[in-house]
Structure 1
Amino acid sequence: MLIVLVLLSAVLFAVMTISTNQRGAMRNSIIGLLLVVMIGSIGLLFTNDNQHWGMKTVTTTTEKPLTSAAALSGAKLLLYQPLGNGHEKIFIYKNSTTQKKVAHTTADVTTTSSVTKTSSQSAKLVTKTSRYVYRNGFYRFLFAGVGNNHEFKARHHEFKVGRDWVILSTTQAKKLQQQAKTAQAKMKTQLAAAVKAKMTAAIKQNPQMTTEQQQALQKQYTTAAKQQAQQQLLAQLQKESLK
């Protein structure tokens, strides 16, 4: 509506100003009125464009599951790429284990991110998106044609993860992956030696164990040793994340 008023008042103002057929107070009053309408309409359009006058903010919330962004000996990782002074970060994540390519947050002033650790076993990404919409039908009619209804305002990503998750920079993750590859063979040898020592002690204590019992016991010791190694890795990752 305001766009029509600007165009119409501008045309009539030009016609009335150029025309020499009419003189006097009536003509001047009409020219003044058209000028007020034109300037007022332009002012309202400017205010709407810069201050979103006649609009309100509406926020929608979406939730998506979250899985580890990288495979590192079974650890649950949320990665980020620091920007500038390190306070701003681009988070790197996956929404499912079948997802081949990682997703990431955007780097702009309208997008923010945070991490919340919870007691829940399931991790999720909660995204809140805010947009400008007109307060009612009157403002939609008034600013018809402007095209800024549902204009994007801001977006916030909240990564809700369990306490066993580790948040690392991409640099830290690459460093730990290299260390894990180097230590993998050594860890395998240590695990085998530890299980063998326990099996030797168990057989010495109970020489009457059957083959089935020995196999079950060896499986139990192997599982326990792997869990211990996993806990050590998690502690190392958590220590690294605090640097």
Structure 2
Amino acid sequence: MILIILILAVIVFIYFNVIPKKGHTPLAWLSLIVAVFCIVGIVEHDYNHFGMKAETTTVKKDLVSSASPKLPILLYQPLGNGTEKVYLYKTNNADKKPTPTKTDKTTSKVVKNASSASVTVTTKRYVFNNGLDSFLFGWFGHNNELKSREYTFSVPKTWQVLSVKQAKSLANQQTKK
């Protein structure tokens, strides 16, 4: 809607400058001021999420071993030079494949002093402050846009955190024995 207000303000500004009559100058300035505020609002919304707030949701699930129910293991796959990791986790033994962590705007950490294994996913999303902001900026499609996601894996000290490559070599060593 702010785009329509901007277009109308520009049209009114042009109209009152093309047809100069007595009393048109204040209306032309007023429409110019409205157009400038619309442009500033659009830019602020695009860069700084003006009219939005960050809403946080937290989900906690119990973990089971990523590899085998008998071996308490949390797997990860290193990315690039190995500083970033995609963790592979299961929340149910019936799952055939482990679920990978998302990579977009995501951080992950492992805490190794818990009494039971669990994963806590904290997601922050941008939502509109109120109905007016939704009415003005709703066309831009930024509602529920992801701000950040954090995975916190809490595992007991008995669990191992291994890369997929390490887990495969461990499985090969066990089959040889």
TM-score relative to the length of structure 2? 0.88
What residue is the counterpart of 1:83 in the other structure? 79
Q: Give the CA deviation at 1:155.
A: 0.4
Are positions 1:113 and 2:108 aligned together? yes
> Which structure carries more strand by proportion?
2
What residue is the counterpart of 1:70 in the other structure? 67
Q: Give the CA deviation at 1:138.
A: 4.5
What residue is the counterpart of 1:4 in the other structure? 4
> Which structure carries more helix by proportion?
1
**1:45-104, Cα deviation, whole Å (9 max, x unpaired):** 1101111123221111011221111128x2211011111222210001111111012210
Give, as a single letter, the amino acid of the residue that structure 2 aligns with 1:180. Answer: Q
What residue is the counterpart of 1:50 in the other structure? 47
**1:148-200, Cα deviation, whole Å (9 max, x unpaired):** 232211100111111110000111111111111001xxxxxxxxxxxxxxxxx
User: Retained in 1: the 8 A contact 2:55–2:126?
Assistant: yes
Are positions 1:174 and 2:129 aligned together? no
What residue is the counterpart of 1:16 in the other structure? 16
**SS at 2:28 equivalent:** helix
User: Retained in 2: the 8 A contact 1:2–1:144?
Assistant: no
Gaps of 5+ in 2: none
User: Retained in 2: the 8 A contact 1:78–1:91?
Assistant: yes
d(CA) in 2 for partners of 1:11 and 1:64? 56
Residues 96/152 of structure 1: CA separation in 2 closer, same or farther (3 Å cut):
same
Q: Which has the larger radius of gyration?
A: 1
d(CA) in 1 for partners of 2:138 and 2:85? 39
d(CA) in 2 for partners of 1:47 and 1:128? 26
Q: Which of 92, 98, 113 is the matching residue for 1:96? A: 92
Does 1 or 2 have the higher relative contact order (CA < 8 Å, sep 6+)? 2
Give, as a single letter, the amino acid of the residue that structure 1 aligns with 2:61. Answer: K
Are positions 1:153 and 2:147 aligned together? yes
d(CA) in 2 for partners of 1:176 and 1:141? 57
Q: Which of 19, 28, 38 is the matching residue for 2:25? A: 28
Residues 24/15 of structure 1: CA separation in 2 closer, same or farther (3 Å cut):
closer
TM-score relative to the length of structure 1? 0.66
**Identity value in percent:** 38
**SS at 2:81 equivalent:** coil
Give, as a single letter, the amino acid of the residue that structure 2 aligns with 1:111. Answer: T
Deviant stretches of 4+, over 4 Å: none
Gaps of 5+ in 1: 184-243
Give, as a single letter, the amino acid of the residue that structure 2 aligns with 1:80. Answer: Y
Q: Give the CA deviation at 1:14.
A: 3.6
Give, as a single letter, the amino acid of the residue that structure 2 aligns with 1:29. Answer: P
The RMSD of aligned alpha carbons is: 2.0
